[in-house]
Structure 1
Amino acid sequence: MLQVLSSESAQQILSTLKAKPKTASEIAKSVDQSVQNVSYHLDRLCDAELITPTETWYSEKGTEMTVYALAADRLVVTFEDTTD
């Protein structure tokens, strides 16, 4: 999870999703990146369970678009000393 979060692009995507769920193309516009780059990071963020697909929208042309949202309102990372 920390490896995914170390990416500035991933951080920007998470930040834009704080306001409301969005499609990949909406996110790409918000963070001024290509849809391909955003899609790569969306896959990684989904695998890390930081975001989740919430619904499907259809464009005027009938193209299926996945809508992404944050998986949780808050993420807390704690480190424990596991040595005895």
Structure 2
Amino acid sequence: MQIVLLHESYPYTRQGAYLAALYPQVYFDLSYMISFVDRNEMLAFTRQALSVAPASKLMYSSDGIHVPEMYWVSARRM
């Protein structure tokens, strides 16, 4: 069974990336859907994941399907 840890395993980003590095069936999703976290904090989470998990275990999805207004609000906050 394949396991995908979604949304950077927030707030356990480093631990989730470590699980992806350790277990062959675990993958790590780099997408964001954390509207209350600012840009710098999101970049720090992404850097943590990239430093721990191998690139072959990293995935990305935009999740841009349900609440389009949230993306506009998030873009304005950045």
TM-score scaled to structure 1, two decimals?
Answer: 0.30
| Higher RCO (Cα < 8 Å, 6 or more apart) | 2
Judging by fraction of residues, say which structure has more strand: 1
Judging by fraction of residues, say which structure has more helix: 2
